[in-house]
Structure 1
Amino acid sequence: MGATMLFSSSIRARAHQIWMLSKEEKPQSRRTPGSSAQDSMWLRRELRSPASKCQLSKTSATKLPRLRTLKTPWNRLHVQVPLLAEVYGIEGNIFRLKINEETPLKPRYEVPDVLTSKPSTVRLTSCSGDTGSLVLADGKGDLKCHITANPFKVDLVSEEEVVMSINSLGQLYFEHLQNPLMQRATKENEDTSVDTTQENQDELCLWEEKFENFVDVKVNGPASIGLDFSLHGFEHLYGIPQHAESHQLKNTGDGDAYRLYNLDVYGYKIHDKMGIYGSVPYLLAHKLGRTLGIFWLNASETLVEISTEPAVKYTLTQMGPVAAKQKVESRTDVRWMSESGIIDVFLLTGPTPSDVFRQYSYLTGTQAMPPLFSLGYHQCRWNYEDEQDVKAVDAGFDEHDIPYDVMWLDIEHTEGKRYFTWDKKRFPNPKRMQELLRSKKRKLVVISDPHIKVDPNYSVYAKAKEQGFFVRNHDGGDFEGVCWPGLSSYLDFTNPKVREWYSSLFAFSVYQGSTDILHVWNDMNEPSVFRGPELTMQKNAIHHGNWEHRELHNIYGFYQQMATAEGLIQRSKGKERPFVLTRSFFAGSQKYGAVWTGDNTAEWSYLKISVPMLLTLSITGISFCGADIGGFIGNPEAELLVRWYQAGAYQPFFRSHATKNTRRREPWLFGEKHTQLIREAIRERYALLPYWYSLFYFAHVASQPVMRPLWIEFPGELETFGVEDEYMLGSALLVHPVTEPKATVVDVFLPGSNEVWFDSKTFSHWKGACTVKIPVSLDTIPVFQRGGSVVPIKTTIGKSTGCMTDSPYGLRVALSTKGSAVGEVYLDDGHSFQYLHQKQFLHRKFSFSSGVLINSCADERGRYPSKCVVEQIFVLGLKKQPSSVTAHSSDGKAQPVAFTYCAKTSTLSLEKLSLNIGADWKVHIQ
């Protein structure tokens, strides 16, 4: 249940738009070398604070407060527009605030399809209330909303502490929709007594904005919204991807707000807040003892301003002889501003990071469980030329004993950039090519973009046009823009019928030449329009339901990935998990597949910035993310390429990719020394696949990020809050990629005063809460296993993940300072939904204590027959050599186990075991 209140507003933002025009008449595409974000047309929006404040009207004490604002002249009219505010309590310590016009001229856009379902509300109890305020509490009573009417303000209170305030700065604004006839009448009735200031003229111009040859007509005038949030005691904020920026959000100055507006940006600029391919309007705030989240559900262009006031130990409360000292805590003010829509914001109250992750996934869904092959290595470039090229590259991996799982084909595989077709000269027999890959248990991924070539003889275009499935221009015809095929129309994925039809195109009977090993890559879906404003679609293009593109721009790519994933599921009659990579994304995209960081450059700085970019994606729900190995643009030197492979092997999505005018860079083309180093990096990825797969299962069922900043695992250690050059994989592994050329030493921070950390290669160990200088050579990437953890591995590496299904397991047991360790492993068939529908899975738990390692069932619901055995166990941190080791099966039988102990590294090695992974057993070390 929620609470509502009504207040009137003539508050509006004066939205002055400054257009920086492209230097060239034809904007450069993302794949044209030399172009950059600065060559595109950028929109910058300055949103001023409202000129009026709320005042309370007379109401009964038994009713919710009714608010209104002072009348403010605008366009020479005195207007008062009632706004309706609603506050809801949602299961799991979530509050929702919605503000909309009570009776708008026409409905304002409310983002659909992102929320997994209608959130279950909880009853909010009125604790106290009078004519000016209201206190609402959830059922437990430990969270309260204090709502004040004059001025309008909401305080979120936990255990009598105000942790968040809304509109405490009075920056709520809401530009109401207006009848264009009112504007016309006003202009026609002007006389000399009417104020004709430049500001009024500027506001009138906002109805019809011009830049170059584009005219953006706003039929009902500007309709922007905004609201401020004050986070008390918080200095560290994270989130709102996608930007090539630091993990911790920075203070913003004039004109320096974080922008959320999905754009095709070739070779994006590092440390820039303008935004690139995707948008997730969600941030997290963290301090000692509490984590909060703010999810701003709006798909229009959005800006976020951040201002942090650090803590002051003491300040004088007044001057003079009675002056007193008072401690002043830190505070961060966050201002959200969107071009249109309504205010619809979710407050995630934590209190722990895990709680916030769970609350966000309750709203938008968890990471889709990926097929196992997609966690292997992917080989891509624009473009592998033909079937013979694919065959030769595939053979090269086998010849050089390098595992890989997926071959990728970019736009040149199609017939003239017509998606769902094959170039008959280059790929005359695509099924034969796929059968070659299938014979090695490998897969194929092909590209499918949202733009459709304008060609009446192209069946996809003809059918879509016949059924009215394209986005329309403001005159009512099909929107046409230029992209890879030339003149193109754009499928309106916001229309459920279009998504249903698009999904049907992946059926084997329709997509000729495709097989069940073919998966899909959605690119250019911001959407990219080469001659459009900022290389995208005009904001007044029309979508299903007569919604303008401005309302939903940031969610367009989300809908294409949704339709693609559903198409791959449908073609298997609901049996097989899809793999879909998308460049454009929104909140909830994690439900449909993977994301990558787009058109990066082969420079050390892009390798370095990839770590905070991926950390930010990970904590905002998108665990399946990665950056193109080697850099999409340019030619990496051998050292940089090796370092990028080493880093990528420890990041969730592991793909090499390059633009077509770069030199070929298959792993064996840089000399035997570098081939060996790349081989080792990729093979280490495959050895860790059981751990990777288990982490993705936990992300899928429990909302825990796969790749984690240190502050997630160590939320009570201030030293971790700003670290972004190293990270955790799950809770067991700490990774510090080498991102500087010719590095010989790396400073690694090992957190946790009660922790012990083991070097994964040398088995050397260090106590936590210190920075360690780790020597590195080109064959070294610092990776540490946390004491108290058990990491499952594969001991035999095959050509691909599919070739390793029955290969043996090993366990890396790293003991804590107390001599104990725990870990888990999850396995299933790796490709179907049987784990979900038929509970065909194994979830096992490993625990080590008092010299006994136990394998037990972690989830009794699961049943999956596995032939796999644990053949190897390493125990790190065992302080003395054992006298004997025995293995005990569930039936009580005991067998002696041969072992090797190294006193120098305190490591016990058990080899040639044959312990079934799915059975209960114990290993006694005495």
Structure 2
Amino acid sequence: MHVINFISLCLDPDANKCHARGCTWDTEIPTNMPVCYIPKWKGGYELVGHEKITQWDIQYKLRRLSKKPIKNVPFSEELDFSLFGNDIDNLKLKITTSGMNIIRLKILDDDRERYEVPIPIKWYPSNVEQQQQQQKIKFRLTKTKYNQIGFQIVRVDTKALLFDTSYFAEGFIYDDKYLQFMTTIPSKNIYGMGENTHSSFQHNLNSNMRYGIFARDQRPIGLNENLYGTHPFYMVIENDGNAFGVFIFNSNAQDYKFSLFERDKSMLTYRTIGGILDLFFFAGPTPEDVVQQYQQVIGTPYIPPYWGLGFQLGRYGYNTLDNMRAAMNRTLSNKIPLDVMNDCFDNNLDFTWDHTRFKNLPEFINSLHEQGMKFITILDPAIDSEKENYSTFLEGQKKDIWIKWPKNKNIQFNETEWWKTEILNYHQKLKFDGLWIDMNEPSNFDTSKDHSWNWPFREDWNCPVDEWDDPIYKTAIKGDRLSDKTLCMIVEQSNGSHIFRHYDVHTLYGWSQTLATLPAAQATENKRSVVISRSTFPTSGKYGGHWLGDNSAKWSHVKYNIIGMLEFNLFGIPYIGADICGYYGNASEQLCQRWMQEGAFNPFFRNHNGGFIDQDPGSWSPPVVESNRKVVETRYTLLPYLYTLFYRAHIMGGTVVRSMAHEFPEDSQCWSLDEQFLWGKYLLIAPVIYENHVQKEIYFSGLNSNERWYNYYTGEEMYQTADGSSFVTVPAPLNHLPLYLRGGAIIPHQKHALNTQKSRLLPMYLKIALDKQQNAKGSYLFNVT
């Protein structure tokens, strides 16, 4: 197979520029496309020394090879090579381990400090007792015949190379604003990395797409666009069923590309334009082990209050309290359970409501509480500076807490206290129960455009043309400049103790707002609360959940809902869901009916849209309203099980929703399945996600061997088809969601009511599904909040 280190197909479209970098312009590759690439004898770094601090803490000194004479290179070839001319000559490579299953590879500039992600993570290097245990994975340094070093992570028992840059040693680049590595992967089963819209849960290696990662207010409409959050974590299921994970701890703009390598292998090309390379490797060997090990580093997920698992209803544009009340009444009058109402602010001003159109809103919220229901309101990070007598702005101005232009000597460190005070003061007026924080990428429309459509003044909002907004390599992100639809990259902000350039910490904005919002929300009533954030970063799951953004009322987005839900469980944010029935566009009745069925098994379950037709579950024809009632009631009976899954994830780490491949990694039929999913280990959900389909093909793993599966509603045991297949087609009329229980499960249930406060007073019962050994087990957590 003809494999070349593809470096600059997009960077250098002509031979002259390619040669100027010291690269080769090749027109003879099999695709007959000219490509610029680094010859094998150029680029990379050599080993010049190492220090063994302990057996589990080793540091290597690396030096850039370019311009250094090397033997065994083609005659008369110049060794000069640099993509951008700012390569860092001397690097320090630090290898540390934590326990038997985690290795950290950290590559730093050996001559000066560089920006590192200022988020506290849990990193506990191995102690003496752990050092005596057998490592499951090991680090290995390799050397090419041209002296270039490569990095390998090896699984000890199988000798599998989980991570191997050796083949691409010349492509290891550590420029001041361009860091790159390429690695082979011992499988084609790759999951994770984002936040992007992926057409499948298992990465499509034939797409030839580079995906950008950089927080952006971007609707999920394009398959290679960077969306709201940043999660450079991926998991691989090897061909023998073992799994491992890789976390790249970097917050700068970055991109990645998974592609085919050879036979049963694949490869990753990763690039970032700042910070350092800080990689964590997780040995597994099961997918759930991988996620738990990842959460040992980033923290386990928060557990929402029980009511936060109930059905939520909202709309960006009820326009009046009467309209909001009507949507609620349509739901409740049709006996559809409902726990939470959501709504927005007045004229886009935080901590306000429209006293004309939403007159008596405080009294309405009090009436919700009397019925056992809750209210969640929205907050954005942008504070209006032009509204007269706007107390939130005036207090912020007094405390001088705004993001600043560079070299401003008055950057303050009390933003969190100001934010908490504003939330507590607002709660004195409006007794909300949770907070929904939006637009926190942060979003700013039409930056550096001629004139912003939503800015009433004549001044343009233009960012300087400089190395921060217009870097040497922009990465595969949407927009002409990094500041597109956000802030200028040159501005500065603080975290309470240090000052950072927005270029480095842009993707941390949503994380920092979530971190500040949850304690404030909890302080309003000294109770657990709900916080849902649009922008997220690793560790965000410790402080709140996420919804999948401004989706559309399209059938393809029903599937994107499943994929996003599965990915965010890998990312450590299991309190996840989509805007059921779509935020943009008018949902058809059938689409909304099927999406309500699938959405009832989103951990975060909310029907929400913009200014389009009514789509609340009581607004449709009687058969669809009845179907909606039925599926929401089913969810409510299962809430004890769902809450227990959250408790286990919070205490032990792990997922709440998982793919079939996650639970059955040795079954190759499961690797690509993403149209059915599991709650925990035992409840299989198989929604219909295509228009006019009234049957569903479901794969029952292990049906021909050691597993038993039962129809959730009837208890009927499932069997293979007449031709011996475990793919079974079942009836799925419009009013039916196929659900199945795996043998060996004891699932706690509780009778449903119109909200969780009422349902928790009702009797509980168990469903027991025996495995082939006639055994079953389960657990249940009861908590009063």
- Give the alignment's TM-score, normalised by structure 2: 0.82
Tell me the amino acid that sits aligned with residue 430 of structure 2: S
Task: Tell me the alpha carbon deviations over residues 225-259 of structure 1, each in whole angstroms, 9 at most, x when there is no partner.
Answer: 12223223x220100132221101122666x2122
- What is the alpha-carbon distance in structure 1 between the residues aligned to residue 160 and residue 86 of structure 2? 37
CA distance in 1, matches of 2:576, 2:51: 54
- Give the whole-Å Cα distance in 2 for the aligned partners of 1:369 and 1:60: 43
Q: Which residue in 2 is equivalent to 1:70?
A: 66
Instruction: Please state how far the C-alpha of 1:360 moved relative to its aligned partner.
Output: 0.6
Task: Go from structure 1 to structure 2 and tell me whether the alpha carbon gap of 1:767 and 1:497 turns closer, same or farther (over 3 Å shift).
Answer: farther
Partner residue in 2 for 1:666 = 616
Q: Are the structure 2 counterparts of residues 77 and 363 from structure 1 closer, same or farther at C-alpha, using a change threshold of 3 Å?
A: closer
User: Is residue 111 from structure 1 mapped to residue 117 from structure 2 by the alignment?
Assistant: yes
Partner in structure 2 of residue 680 of structure 1: 630
- Tell me which amino acid in the other structure corresponds to 1:82: N
Partner of 1:609: 560
Residues matched between the structures, number: 689
Matches within 5 A, 1:691-770: 691-752=641-702, 753-767=705-719, 770=726
**2:585 is the counterpart of 1:585:** no
Aligned-partner SS, 1:823:
coil
SS of equivalent residue, structure 1 residue 693: helix
Q: Match of 1:787?
A: 743
SS at structure 1 position matched to 2:231: coil
Deviates more, 1:381-390 or 1:673-682: 381-390
Q: Does 1:85 align with 2:93?
A: yes
Alignment of 1:338-737 (within 5 A): 338-410=272-344, 413-414=345-346, 416-455=347-386, 457-474=389-406, 476=408, 497-507=414-424, 509=425, 511-515=427-431, 517-532=432-447, 533-544=483-494, 545-572=498-525, 575-660=526-611, 662-737=612-687
Residues 173 and 477 of structure 1, relative CA distance in 2, 3 Å threshold: farther
**Aligned pairs for 1:851-870 within 5 A:** none
Superposed displacement of residue 815, structure 1: 1.6
Distance 1:773 1:512, change over 3 A: same
Contact 2:60 2:92 (C-alpha < 8 Å) held by counterparts = no
| AA matched with 2:231 | V
Q: What is the distance in 2 between the residues matched to 1:438 and 1:778? A: 35
More deviation, 75-84/336-345? 75-84
Equivalent position amino acid for 2:638 in 1: L
CA distance in 2, matches of 1:511, 1:697: 28
Distance, in Å, in 1 between the alignment partners of 2:430 and 2:547 is: 24
Secondary structure of residue in 2 paired with 1:278 = strand
Amino acid at match of 1:782: P
1:259-338 equivalence runs, <5 A: 259-266=212-219, 268-270=220-222, 272-287=223-238, 288-309=240-261, 311=263, 330-338=264-272
Aligned with 2:181 (options 214, 227, 239): 227
The answer (yes or no) to whether the contact 2:44–2:173 under 8 Å persists in 1 is no
Shift of 1:99: 1.0
What's the CA shift for 1:636? 1.1
Give the match for residue 3 of structure 2.
none
SS at match of 2:229: coil
The question of whether the paired residues in 2 share the 8 Å contact of 1:790 and 1:813 is answered with: yes
CA deviation string 1:64-91 (max 9, x = no partner): 6543223347699898631111111113
State how 1:43-62 maps to structure 2 within 5 Å.
51-57=42-48
Cα offsets for 1:524-552 (capped at 9, x unmatched): 11111111243222222222244222212
Q: Tell me the residue number matched to 1:167.
A: 165
Letter in 2 for 1:70: S
Deviation readout 1:487-526 (Å, 9 max, x if unpaired):
xxxxx9xx8631232123221x4544122x4211011111
Query: 1:354 Cα deviation (Å)?
Result: 2.3
Q: 1:59 to 1:420 in 2, by over 3 A?
A: closer
How far the C-alpha of 1:433 sits from its partner, in A, is 1.6
Distance in 2, Cα, partners of 1:619 & 1:153: 28
CA separation of 1:620 and 1:694: change in aligned 2, threshold 3 A: same
Secondary structure in 1 matching 2:591: helix
Q: Which amino acid is 1:676 matched to?
A: E
Distance (whole Å) between structure 2 residues aligned to residue 632 and residue 617 of structure 1: 20
Compared CA separation, residues 715 and 372, structure 1 to 2 (3 A): same
1:140 aligned residue (127, 134, 159): 134
Instruction: Note closer, same or farther for the CA distance 1:114–1:672 as it changes in structure 2 (3 Å cut).
Output: farther
Match of 2:457 in 1: none
Distance 1:290 1:726 in 2: 22
Note the C-alpha offset of 1:160. Answer: 6.4
Unaligned runs of 5+ in 2: 1-6, 13-34, 68-79, 448-482
Q: Name the SS of the counterpart of 1:609 in structure 2.
A: helix
3-state DSSP of counterpart to 1:380: strand
Distance 1:61 1:417, change over 3 A: closer
| Deviation readout 1:618-655 (Å, 9 max, x if unpaired) | 12211111111111111111111111111111221110
Q: Which residue in the other structure is 1:155 paired with? A: 152
Bigger relative CO (Cα 8 Å, ≥ 6 apart): 2
The whole-number CA distance in structure 1 between the counterparts of 2:646 and 2:169 is 43
Distance 1:76 1:418 in 2: 45
Once the 2 structures are TM-superposed, how far is the Cα of residue 345 of structure 1 from its aligned partner? Answer: 0.8
Letter in 2 for 1:438: H
Q: For 1:2-17, list aligned pairs within 5 A.
A: none
Deviation at 1:344, TM superposition (A): 0.8
AA aligned opposite 1:640: L
In 2: Cα distance, 1:731 partner to 1:725 partner: 17
Contact 1:166 1:227 in 2 (8 A): no
The equivalent position to 2:766 in structure 1, one of 785, 807, 811, is 811
2:22 matched residue in structure 1:
none
CA deviation string 1:554-573 (max 9, x = no partner) = 2211111111112112333x
Counterpart in the other structure of 2:201 = 247
Query: Residue 534 of structure 1 aligns to a residue in which SS?
Result: coil
Deviation at 1:60, TM superposition (A): 10
Cα 1:152–1:383 shift into 2, 3 Å: same
> 1:238 touches 1:283 (CA, 8 Å); kept in 2?
yes
Identity, % of aligned pairs? Answer: 26
The CA distance in 2 between the partners of 1:625 and 1:449, in whole Å, is 19
Q: Which secondary structure does the structure 2 equivalent of 1:242 belong to?
A: strand
* Structure 1 residues 111 and 354: alpha-carbon distance in aligned structure 2, compared to 1, 3 A threshold: same
Q: CA deviation at 1:451?
A: 0.7
Q: Describe the shift of the 1:252–1:502 C-alpha distance in structure 2 as closer, same or farther (beyond 3 A).
A: farther
Q: Give SS of 1:605's match.
A: helix
Bigger Rg over Cα: 1
Contact 1:754 1:767 (8 Å CA) reproduced:
no
Distance in 1, matches of 2:172 and 2:106, equals: 13
Cα gap change, 1:110/1:711 in structure 2, threshold over 3 Å: closer, same or farther?
A: same
CA deviation string 1:93-143 (max 9, x = no partner): 211111111223xx422112251x343444699xxxxxxxxxxx8742453
**Aligned counterparts of 2:11 and 2:308: Cα–Cα separation in 1:** 43
Any idea what SS the aligned residue of 2:513 has? helix
8 A contact 2:197–2:225 mirrored in 1: no
Report Cα offsets for 1:471-492 as digits up to 9, x if no partner. Answer: 22347599xxxxxxxxxxxxx9
Query: What is aligned with 1:774?
Result: 730
Structure-2 separation of matches of 1:615 and 1:625: 9
Q: 2: CA distance between counterparts of 1:165 and 1:694?
A: 36
User: Are the counterparts in 1 of residues 44 and 171 from structure 2 also a CA contact under 8 Å?
Assistant: no
SS in 1 for 2:383: strand
The residue type paired with residue 743 of structure 2 is: G
Q: What is the root-mean-square deviation of aligned Cα atoms in Å? A: 3.0
Distance in 2 (alpha carbons) for counterparts of 1:14 and 1:138: 46
